[in-house]
Amino acid sequence: MIIFGIDPGTAVTGYGVIKTTNNSVSWVDSGVITTDTAEKLPVRLEMIYDRLFEKIRQHKPQRVCIEEAFYGKNVHTTLVLGHARGVAMLAAQKTGAQIVEYSPREVKKAITGNGNATKDQIAYMVRMILSPPVEYSHLDAYDALAIAVGDFHMAKTDGLKKVYLK
């Protein structure tokens, strides 16, 4: 099975693709989509949608996993992040893949065993599990891979209960 993970953001969106075989996972692709923060939001959202749609179509995943919005003190930031999540969901929906959401805490716990793990701890564990051939300066690529790997582990225990039904 191919699993595509997305760590949405309007400035940097991470994506990660893994392949599962029996009880093992392997790296397929990962990276980031960066947008110019000087551009208007609709232009940036279009770029995120286009690049994600291309990547999802290229890899043909059965599942696309998207990180849920983190609800912090800044409501505006949460709302803007919702736009990035929306275009990510639309890109996945257009390809026919199952769409699943996970909270940051669920992903951290699945990857490190600690729901309060730092981004550096997540990146370290992803490197240990998948050995991606590229070192990323943006941790969002590792976060996206973590979402995909977390889905692989959580799907086995949660019975795929978070899948959006078509």
- Write down the catalytic residue from 106, 140, 143, 151: 140
**Cβ within 8 Å of residue 47, ≥6 positions away:** 33, 35
Tell me the C-alpha distance between 92 and 62, whole Å. 10
- Write down the catalytic residue from 29, 67, 101, 151: 67
Residue 78, CB-side half-sphere exposure with 13 Å CA sphere: 8
Mean pLDDT of 103-132: 95
Whether residue 7 lies in the annotated active site:
yes
This prediction has a pTM of 0.91
Whether residue 67 lies in the annotated active site:
yes
Q: Indicate the pairing of strand 2-7 with strand 24-34.
A: unpaired
Mean pLDDT of 118-147: 95
Mean pLDDT of 128-154: 94
Whether residue 158 lies in the annotated active site:
no
Give per-residue pLDDT as tens, 11-62. 999 999 999 998 899 999 999 999 999 999 999 999 999 999 999 999 999 9
Tell me the C-alpha distance between 127 and 119, whole Å. 12
Domains of the chain: 2-158 (3.30.420.10)
